[in-house]
Structure 1
């Protein structure tokens, strides 16, 4: 989440007036993340008791034609019982509107806290919630290809240029070249597929104590290898800020998710390396191309270079049956 676009108070009030959610009280920009503009919205509520929502304006890497997939998926998963926010439809029944040529959606606010350093019990709950998401999405009819799969990683790195990558770290160009060649040769294309979240970082999970109260920010969701979603989540949850691996968190995340097929288990080391490269790619590109005046926190791509190095050396042991 982030804020790239500024909306004046009267614009926000007029927009919220298109929904049956009461009168706007406040709107606070949310700085975390790198892709869309987001505000925490407070209103009087349709019954006068007060209500909170998340307002999202879609900015980068977003085709408006794909919005029905994302928003319908939220409603589908919420109806199935996944801890996912519902889309708030406007008075005309639309799940999104256009403001200044950009799409905006109002999303249910869910209670909970995103943790910086998850416990093993929390990781177990997240693994179970991710498995539940995959089960609940099994009969979802929407389709969206992964727009940030292996070919796009190369495109993003190419967009950075060797000099740009070297400005982040002198060793990065050679690391990227070698790992992309490996992944292009080793990627397991024939594993089971489903709708996946594809970005389940700790800041996209809300927790109340050790229970998952919300899975949020589905705007990279797509149909792809199901076990890749687990690999993405593993790469996001199982490391300290200094790069140290948290073995107990890893074990509980995998246990909470439940059994995989033998082929999926065997592929996890490669999928985890791919997950690390995916976030190296987007973070490197954003590091070099984020506008200087954007209300957004850039994220260091070298965090995932270190996780990649770990998976290269220890992935087989970590994911062994």
Structure 2
């Protein structure tokens, strides 16, 4: 029985890389950064597209950022959907894949696509409307090649960037308000850190929006013309070269710009979660090492049995 379990584990490990999907990547119209600029690619090799698989089609669902060659940091809300009764429906890992290492979503070569082994949502996450601890980590079955991607360093623990610090956000999306055609090229937008107290006051005055907590950080576009959209949750806010925030509340493609053009976007503040992030990535890497050891043991066992026979 033990031999059978080891064989199944090793077979799973060996075959997992071959599970990449040969499909056409599609994009829904209202799910991307609008009025952004084309990326220069080499600066954004951390950016990932988290995609939902349905049949032979993989559709962009969320953004995210590589923090190791095997781990993606994203929003918790990218790991579930909300049912008609308000219930949380977790996404099955077999329905997820991650794209990275190119600025064109159509560049789906094998070294740019990875399947998801599992994901970890922050244990104290509370769903909408509060979005408390809206952060999650995807653990990939096989790491991306070092020649294809470049993970982002985390912001220092408990650090807070100064107001008006210039940052950037990257994602795939439509270029103009109301466009039904998403950009095939990775889009980038410059933002600045918004004063936390002012941000909280704005959101307190807007009906049905939750509190802006100390574990959150606000940012806004300089010209109030570019914004993230509904499917850009999980996009990384990068300040001074470090992963500073994970988007969970975009401005909904600037649909409310005529009412309030300066409403900021809210990100989960990464520096509050560095210990948790490191514990998750360390434990999942250790598990992979154990599975790899089982694989090697199984291979040697097979060789030994053949020699013995």
More strand by share: 2
More helix by share: 1
TM norm structure 2: 0.28
Which gives a bigger RCO, structure 1 or 2 (Cα 8 Å, sep 6+)?
A: 2
TM norm structure 1: 0.28
